[in-house]
Structure 1
Amino acid sequence: MSTDKPPLNPHPLSEYVAWAGNRNREPILGVLKEKLPKESGRVLEMASGSGMHINYFAPHFDHLHFHPSDRDVEVFDNIKNLTSEHGNDNIADPVHLDLTDPETWFNPGEKNSFDAIFCINIFQVAPISIADGMMECASHLLSDNGVLLIYGPFKMEGGFTTDSNEEFHKTLASYEVPEWGLKDVADLKKAAAAHGMELKEIIDMPANNFSLIFGLK
């Protein structure tokens, strides 16, 4: 794959998303090695997209079982094909989870059934309103000491943390898609508080990104 940055395209199967995924996967893996259970457990990925991240991470955690999910069922074949190609037998088949549709969020039997949830690079191209669904899901699905890891570029308390993040926000805004643009961590904290969650840690990541670690209060 070329190392040149492709044109911006948030479709989960685009060259741009693949390029971004290859660039950020090692730093995120480092955080997961610190935060995921050291013994057996279940891990949910929200907005799995092509499945490139979950299929890269899973082989590093033989003791864990990974569960991909996405709102777009069209990506499910790609996720399953990657899982088969990599021989990842600790990844379940993807399930439909739409953070704008409460009917897809969970069923009663899954309460407290996940030890960790992660979501990568979704908020810059999704409405901030999905934070409410994400936090409600997490509050239901996570075990008492479980973590929700959200990775991406964000604003902090109304401001940009770097000039490059401000420039990225302007680039996203230039496409005139209403939901595109960097979201504020303060809004995620507000959504979390409404569902018994709180921001536990902010980890600085390469390329001016962050890993936000949420957990139950």
Structure 2
Amino acid sequence: MYEDRPPLDPHPLSPYVAWAGHRNRDSILETLKTLLPKNKAHVLEFASGSGMHLHYFAPHFEHLQFHPTDMNEEVFPNIEKLTAESGLGNIRKPRRLDLTQPDTWPDPDEEEFHAIYCINIFQVAPVSIADGMMQCASEVLADDGLLFIYGPFKIDGRFTTPSNEEFDRILRSAGVPEWGLKDTADLNRAAAKHGMKLDKAMDMPANNFALIYRRG
């Protein structure tokens, strides 16, 4: 069903996003199994979109409570529909979270998360959101918590593969200023500003990376 890539469309409910999400979800799941807490804890998802990743992961972590968020409330009915259909009891109601608006972030005095994850967002979002992402993570993560960021990136200004360079060219040809592969160096600078640091960069299938940040 997802062998042929649909036309590029970053809308969270588009066929392209569904194709991309199904393509690598198993490798992400296996990586998360090695990283997410083994005891009861709360996990925050940035940019949940349609909720497809959330509902694929949650059945494998019944001891965890997942908190979906997105800046676009248009996707909330789809997330709630998937939750109702799945019967899962460890997914909270979606809520609005805009990384550029701190007043939409969880209150660290009321909620603490042991893990945050964000999947396939930076190639279609401005790199400036890295600042809000790192600041939010530094405020709401537990001392031993982690921030997991997945997607394709440049490393120190270089493309790691010809296919990633071609993907960047395709994204930029759309004429949307913020589209294109971002550099991990920019994320690391944002992290340092807010007391976070890159703990590990893991190679993933299809020329993607899993970046794990923790408090510095």
- State the TM-score, normalizing by the size of structure 2: 0.98
Deviation at 1:107, TM superposition (A): 1.9
Q: Matched residues in 1 for 2:66 and 2:102: separation?
A: 22
Asked whether the equivalents of residues 107 and 140 of structure 2 are also in contact (C-alpha less than 8 Å), the reply is no
Whichever residue aligns with residue 8 of structure 2, its letter is: L
Whichever residue aligns with residue 149 of structure 1, its letter is: F
1:206 match = 205
2:162 match = 163
Deviation at 1:109, TM superposition (A): 2.3
Task: Report percent identity of matched pairs.
Answer: 64
Q: Matched residues in 1 for 2:108 and 2:83: separation?
A: 28
Whichever residue aligns with residue 201 of structure 2, its letter is: I
Asked whether the equivalents of residues 41 and 115 of structure 1 are also in contact (C-alpha less than 8 Å), the reply is yes
Asked whether the equivalents of residues 99 and 134 of structure 1 are also in contact (C-alpha less than 8 Å), the reply is yes
Q: Matched residues in 2 for 1:170 and 1:110: separation?
A: 43
Poorly superposed stretches of 4+, deviation over 4 Å: none
Q: CA 1:108–1:203 in structure 2 vs 1: closer, same or farther (change >3 Å)?
A: closer
Corresponding residue SS for 2:11:
coil
Root mean square deviation of aligned Cα = 0.9
Q: Matched residues in 2 for 1:167 and 1:55: separation?
A: 31
Deviation at 1:2, TM superposition (A): 4.3
1:115 match = 114
1:36 match = 36
Gaps of 5+ in 2: none
Q: How does 1:45-194 map to 2 (within 5 A)?
A: 45-110=45-110, 113-194=112-193
Asked whether the equivalents of residues 2 and 23 of structure 2 are also in contact (C-alpha less than 8 Å), the reply is no
Q: CA 1:2–1:199 in structure 2 vs 1: closer, same or farther (change >3 Å)?
A: closer
In the TM superposition, what whole-angstrom CA distance separates every residue of 1:11-59 from its partner, at most 9, and x where no partner exists? 0000000001001110000111000001110000000000000010000
Whichever residue aligns with residue 201 of structure 1, its letter is: K
2:7 match = 7
Asked whether the equivalents of residues 110 and 141 of structure 1 are also in contact (C-alpha less than 8 Å), the reply is no
- State the TM-score, normalizing by the size of structure 1: 0.98
